[in-house]
């Protein structure tokens, strides 16, 4: 069953619409709490179409993603029992449990890494609420992690044009995991 390819195609079609910034904000919000398609797939073609708006679009994506992250946090804080069947049916439950365990050890750094990496950020937002992570630390980690990711994507596409977008799409998984490794190393250095 193909679920993600049609969603991906739909998101790309939205990026060409006049109301694309509204769609980008909505997608970014939704992806942080429940939707499976990351906003990068819409951000990149929008930046290609209007390179002078790269930073404005990255800021919009970051702010709406953090707002969606807060919605995910509230879901975890107040309604995990209601969301658990959805997480199980979507195949996210085992990952959610793993993420919850990471909060015990990593906390702020887990959210920061998830904000940048290809790991589903929504799992971290819900887990942060469930684990009652301090809200200020959650928001700061989300702003830094999501902001770093979306400003990097927007500016790489702005500078590199269509060839860079194709390369980003091809290597986004490797880049995301590489950054997670770097963040873990930085955390270990500062911890000791």
Distance CA 161, CA 156 (A): 8
Evaluate if residue 21 carries a pLDDT over 50. yes
Cβ–Cβ < 8 Å for 20, 60: no
Confidence of residue 4 (pLDDT cuts 50, 70, 90): very low
Residue 70 is predicted with a pLDDT of 96
Which structure tokens are listed for 111?
Answer: 């959210």
Distance CA 90, CA 173 (A): 21
Confidence of residue 2 (pLDDT cuts 50, 70, 90): very low
Helix segments in 90-134, DSSP class H: 93-105, 108-116, 121-130
Q: How many CA atoms lie within 13 A of 102 on its CB side?
A: 21
Which structure tokens are listed for 5?
Answer: 């390819």
Evaluate if residue 89 carries a pLDDT over 70. yes
Residue 185 is predicted with a pLDDT of 66
pTM of the model: 0.73
Confidence of residue 93 (pLDDT cuts 50, 70, 90): confident
Distance CA 85, CA 4 (A): 20
Kindly report, residue by residue over 23-69, the tens digit of the pLDDT: 899 989 998 887 767 888 788 888 888 889 999 999 999 999 999 99
Evaluate if residue 75 carries a pLDDT over 70. yes
Angle in degrees, CA 113, 111, 25, rounded to 5: 95
Residue 25 is predicted with a pLDDT of 94
| Helix then strand then coil, % of the chain, to nearest 5 | 85, 0, 15
**3-state SS string for 112-124:** HHHHHCCCCHHHH
Kindly report, residue by residue over 111-170, the tens digit of the pLDDT: 877 777 767 788 788 888 988 889 999 999 999 999 999 999 899 889 988 777 666 566
Most confident of 78-82, 117-121, 181-185: 78-82
Cβ–Cβ < 8 Å for 31, 65: yes
Q: How many helices (H) does the chain have, and how many strands (E)? A: 9, 0
Domain boundaries, the chain: 4-191
The residue-averaged pLDDT of 163-181 equals: 61
Confidence of residue 187 (pLDDT cuts 50, 70, 90): low
């Amino acid at each position: 069953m193909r679920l993600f390819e049609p969603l991906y195609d739909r998101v790309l079609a939205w990026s060409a619409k006049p109301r694309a910034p509204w769609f980008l904000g909505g997608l970014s919000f939704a992806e942080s709490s429940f939707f499976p398609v990351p906003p990068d797939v819409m951000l990149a073609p929008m930046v290609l179409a209007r390179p002078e708006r790269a930073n404005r679009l990255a800021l919009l994506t970051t702010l709406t993603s953090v707002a969606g992250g807060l919605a995910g946090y509230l879901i975890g804080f107040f309604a995990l029992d209601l969301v658990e069947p959805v997480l199980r049916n979507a195949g996210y439950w085992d990952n959610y449990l793993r993420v919850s365990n990471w909060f015990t050890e990593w906390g702020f750094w887990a959210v920061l890494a998830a904000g940048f990496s290809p790991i589903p950020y929504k799992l971290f937002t819900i887990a942060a609420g469930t684990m009652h992570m301090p809200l200020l630390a959650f928001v700061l980690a989300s702003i830094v992690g999501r902001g770093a990711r979306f400003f990097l994507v927007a500016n790489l596409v702005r500078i590199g044009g269509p060839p860079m977008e194709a390369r980003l799409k091809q290597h986004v998984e490797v880049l995301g995991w590489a950054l997670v490794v770097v963040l873990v190393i930085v955390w270990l250095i500062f911890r000791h």
